[in-house]
Amino acid sequence: MFEIVFISTLNGILYGMLLFLMASGLTVIFSMMGVLNFAHAGFYMLGAFFGFEISRRVGFWPGLVIAPLLVGLIGMAVERYGLRRVHRHGHVAELLFTFGLTYVIQQAVEMVWGKLPVDYEVPRSLDFPAFTVFGTEYPAFKMFELLISVAIFLVLLLVIKRTRIGLVVQAALSHPGMVAMLGHNVDRVFMLVFGVGVALAAVAGVIAGPALVTQSNMAGLLGPILFVVVVVGGLGSLGGAFIASLLIGLLQTFAVASNASLADLFGSSASAGALQTYLSDIWNVTVAQVAPILPYLLLVLILIFRPRGLMGTRET
Amino acid sequence: MSRASDAPAAPVPDAGRGSFLAAYGIWIALAIVIAALPHIFSSGLALSMMSVMGTMIVFALSYNMLLGQTGLLSFGHAVFFGLGGFFAVHLMNALSGGEAPMPLIAFPLVGALAGLVFGIVVGAVATRRAGTAFAMITLGIGELVASSALILRSFFGGEEGISTDRTDLIQPFGLTFGPQIEVYYLIGAWCFVSMAAMYALTRTPFGRICNAVRENPERARFIGYNTQTVRFIAFSLSGLFAGIAGALAAINFEIMNSAQLGAAESGSVILMTYIGGIGNFAGPVIGAILVTYLQFTLSDITDVWQLYFGLLFIAVVMFAPNGIAGLLTLQEPLIRAGNLGRVSLYYPLAVVPALVALAGFSLMVEMTYRLSVGGSEMSFLYVPLNARAPLPWLAAIVLLGGGGWLFLRGARKVGQVYGDAVQEGLRR
């Protein structure tokens, strides 16, 4: 039992940190520009596939640097020539633009790399067990993923809280007009933030790719979860996004590891038998099977009972 | 956000005999077109394509009740489409072979009821907010229902779905609904009725208040309307019509699958509605017809048709936010001023280079695709070529660059001519 709890906690934190790498960019972009970037998971996928392509030709380590840079550049171009243009037509048009972008990224990836999973290998220098608990080997690559995401989290925190750039970004969040008045180029700040945001998502893609499956549906699988994180944490709140990422990471890993079902809970008494015939689907479903639904359930509950999210300051 | 007025040529309420024809002429014409189409396009493929088009018209129009009329961007509209279809299929199966007095033609009502009930349930949660939060909630609920559908196997049939037999019901007037033509007329009739009902709804005070909530919720509140209630009613009614569309799809295909209530279906209705144009009642109709036609035909021509599709959508969002219907309504002042003929002579200046650029771009896409699936021999527009040779790539770049440059120049010229012509019309 303790073994499952330990491994699940570790995996949950890891998954949560990966989610946060993406959610942080998403939520900063949202609070700055009011754009919920639908294509954020698409950029994560691009990161994974670029990382794969570079690691196949040059190696994993160059990929870790080059792929996010490339994706960041693409993101900046998208902001400069796409989003900024659509901005005039209002938020619905912006949302639809990024929605269309998801579609295009997905199709482009399918066109170039096909629909089947690609063989994105863990780099040899990290392909060994980090430690052994209860006879289970925990791969070093996962520890490396954890390390990278924690490091980026700390750097991000320092940049936003301690540097002049962070100050301008924070100011542009709440008072874009005033920041422009003081002589900062708000448009350029937006472009950079968008680029850095999607580059972070790409980092997540590069380091998650070898551990998870690098496939053209990975954006579609992860995208909705990302929105759950951002909404549950409170739109525009970095701290909230952090907590919600960990919460959802842990929730999903623990749910997957659990085999309980209503049938187990109630045993097989006579009254349960009657219920069982009517609710056979629900009755025998294990918690693990319900795992994919849980984040959305959480989303709906949060929106009903606490619409501004865990740490949000404004009503969404 | 500026949008064109909602109704294409509102019926002018002038006294006299001509007014009936003026007000309802377009609907009579529509009924005649729906009735006559299978006699013009009578092939099996055309019939099934037109049946799908009818279904999608209802679906897209129901979606536009939200996006176009009330300004609500929903990412989970297929939930109602799918549930409407599933309830219709289950009732069809329950009544099969029996003597229950429920002919096939009444089954879209089942879908409507299911759509309405779930519209009320979901709407109660989702319409508390508007804007981005509403979009997120509908996305979450859409995902919730779609992933639950894979768990509740006895209702949703798991991966393979639930199939049914539409001919196994009572058959009044000898209508078996076995042949596709009979199904086409069933769908056509329901499509006509739904279109008329949804159009009528836009003309009611409620429809107007929906527009007010879209344009300026604060003012709508100040004149005494509860915007949340308005959104809620619009959402529920739109669920109703989506349910009708779902039931029509169930009747047409005789199978419902959990994919039909998922994100892909929700996405495709957004694409249809927006490409057609959300600011105009006819927009979603145009969008549904065009997109269905492209889905049927493009997939034969190219394997990466969905990529073109997404790019078309982005192009519409960026350059023509009122969709195809919006581009058509732009011609209206020209027609009134009587100089459409003169101005339209300039349109090729923009259209031809755009087509050239498109050809160049699509050549690049197709060659990339050819290289990624392995092999290099291919043909593009009946021209055989080798995707590894530099010449086709050079040609593609020249076509794309040159076409794009000429298009920008041509578009500027056309814009100028258009603006002048409209000004001239105003002066007169």
* Same domain assignment for residues B281 and B135: yes
Q: Is A300 in CB contact (< 8 Å) with chain B?
A: yes
Terminal alpha carbon distance of chain A: 40
Element (H, E) at A139: strand A136-139
Mean local confidence (pLDDT), A297-314: 77
Q: Given pLDDT bands bounded at 50, 70 and 90, which one contains residue A289?
A: confident
Domain assignment present for residue A28? The answer is yes
Domain span at residue A114?
2-305
* Same domain assignment for residues B40 and B99: yes
Domain assignment present for residue A45? The answer is yes
Q: Which residues of A touch B148 (CB under 8 A)?
A: 293
CATH code of the domain covering residue A73? 1.10.3470
* Same domain assignment for residues B141 and B287: yes
Domain assignment present for residue B225? The answer is yes
Domain assignment present for residue B84? The answer is yes
Test A300 with B144 for CB contact under 8 angstroms. yes
- pLDDT at site A32: 74
**Which residue among B321, B346, B368 closes a domain?**
B321
Closest partner CB to B310 (pick from A95, A100, A227): A100
Greatest mean pLDDT among A50-54, A234-238, A276-280, A286-290 = A50-54
* Same domain assignment for residues B135 and B157: yes
Mean local confidence (pLDDT), A219-225: 86
Count of CB contacts below 8 A, A vs B?
131
**Alpha-carbon span A25 to A156, nearest angstrom:** 10
Domain assignment present for residue A292? The answer is yes
Q: Which residues of A touch B258 (CB under 8 A)?
A: none
* Same domain assignment for residues B186 and B284: yes
Q: Which residues of A touch B135 (CB under 8 A)?
A: 36, 95
**Alpha-carbon span A141 to A125, nearest angstrom:** 9
Mean local confidence (pLDDT), B84-100: 85
Q: Is A287 in CB contact (< 8 Å) with chain B?
A: no
Domain assignment present for residue A232? The answer is yes
Q: Pick the residue from chain B with its C-alpha nearest to A95.
A: B132
- pLDDT at site A4: 77
* Same domain assignment for residues B205 and B116: yes
Closest CA of chain B from A230, distance in Å = 10
Domain assignment present for residue B387? The answer is yes
What domain count does chain B have?
A: 2
- pLDDT at site B18: 61
Interval B234-262: pLDDT, tens: 999 999 999 999 999 999 988 888 888 88
Closest partner CB to A292 (pick from B1, B131, B147): B147
**Alpha-carbon span A120 to A57, nearest angstrom:** 12
* Same domain assignment for residues B315 and B337: no
Domain assignment present for residue A312? The answer is no
Domain assignment present for residue A316? The answer is no
- pLDDT at site B50: 92
- pLDDT at site B83: 93
Q: What is the number of other CB atoms lying within 10 angstroms of the CB of residue B99?
A: 8
Closest CA of chain A from B200, distance in Å = 26
Domain assignment present for residue B391? The answer is yes
Interval B116-159: pLDDT, tens: 999 999 998 888 877 777 888 888 889 888 888 888 877 888 77
Closest CA of chain B from A300, distance in Å = 7
**Which residue among B274, B291, B321 closes a domain?**
B321
- Percent residues over pLDDT 70 in chain A: 89
- pLDDT at site B30: 87
Test A107 with B154 for CB contact under 8 angstroms. no
Interval B12-32: pLDDT, tens: 444 445 677 777 888 888 888
Put simply, the chain A residues between 16 and 75 with a CB less than 8 A from any chain B CB are: 34, 36
Closest partner CB to B132 (pick from A89, A91, A112): A91
Mean local confidence (pLDDT), B295-316: 85
Domain span at residue B258?
18-321
Interval A189-217: pLDDT, tens: 888 889 999 999 999 999 888 888 888 88
Test B141 with A296 for CB contact under 8 angstroms. yes
* Confidence check: pLDDT of A263 > 70: no
B283 and B273 Cβ atoms separated by less than 8 Å:
yes
Provide the mean pLDDT of chain A: 82
Indicate the Cα dihedral angle A138, A141, A145, A150, nearest 10°.
70
3-state class (DSSP) for residue B377: strand
* Confidence check: pLDDT of B11 > 80: no
- pLDDT at site A69: 94
* Same domain assignment for residues B78 and B145: yes
Q: Which residues of A touch B133 (CB under 8 A)?
A: 231, 235, 303, 307, 316
Q: Which residues of B touch A304 (CB under 8 A)?
A: 125
* Confidence check: pLDDT of A110 > 60: yes
- pLDDT at site B237: 94
* Same domain assignment for residues B338 and B317: no
B226 and B64 Cβ atoms separated by less than 8 Å:
no
Closest CA of chain B from A267, distance in Å = 21
3-state class (DSSP) for residue A176: helix
Q: Which residues of B touch A289 (CB under 8 A)?
A: 151
Q: Which residues of A touch B318 (CB under 8 A)?
A: 82, 85-86, 97
Burial label for A85, CB within 10 Å (0-12, 13-18, 19+), is: middle
Instruction: Let me know how many helices (H) and strands (E) chain B has, helices first.
Output: 18, 4
Identify which has the larger pLDDT, A292 or A151.
A151
* Same domain assignment for residues B225 and B346: no
Q: Which residues of B touch A92 (CB under 8 A)?
A: 1, 67, 71, 73
Domain assignment present for residue A86? The answer is yes
Q: Given pLDDT bands bounded at 50, 70 and 90, which one contains residue A316?
A: very low
**Alpha-carbon span B159 to A177, nearest angstrom:** 52
What domain count does chain A have?
A: 1
**What ipTM describes this predicted complex?**
0.84
A311 and A234 Cβ atoms separated by less than 8 Å:
yes
Q: Pick the residue from chain A with its C-alpha nearest to B122.
A: A300
Interval B363-420: pLDDT, tens: 888 888 888 877 777 777 777 888 788 888 898 899 999 999 999 898 888 888 888 8
Among B129, B147, B261, B266, the strongest candidate for a mutation testing the A interface, having the largest count of A CBs within 10 A, is B147
Q: Pick the residue from chain B with its C-alpha nearest to A227.
A: B136
Closest partner CB to A36 (pick from B71, B132, B368): B132
Domain assignment present for residue A259? The answer is yes
- pLDDT at site B13: 46
CB under 8 Å to B303, separation ≥6 — which residues? Answer: B369
A196 phi/psi in degrees, rounded to 5: -65, -40
* Confidence check: pLDDT of A275 > 70: no
**Which residue among B296, B321, B346 closes a domain?**
B321
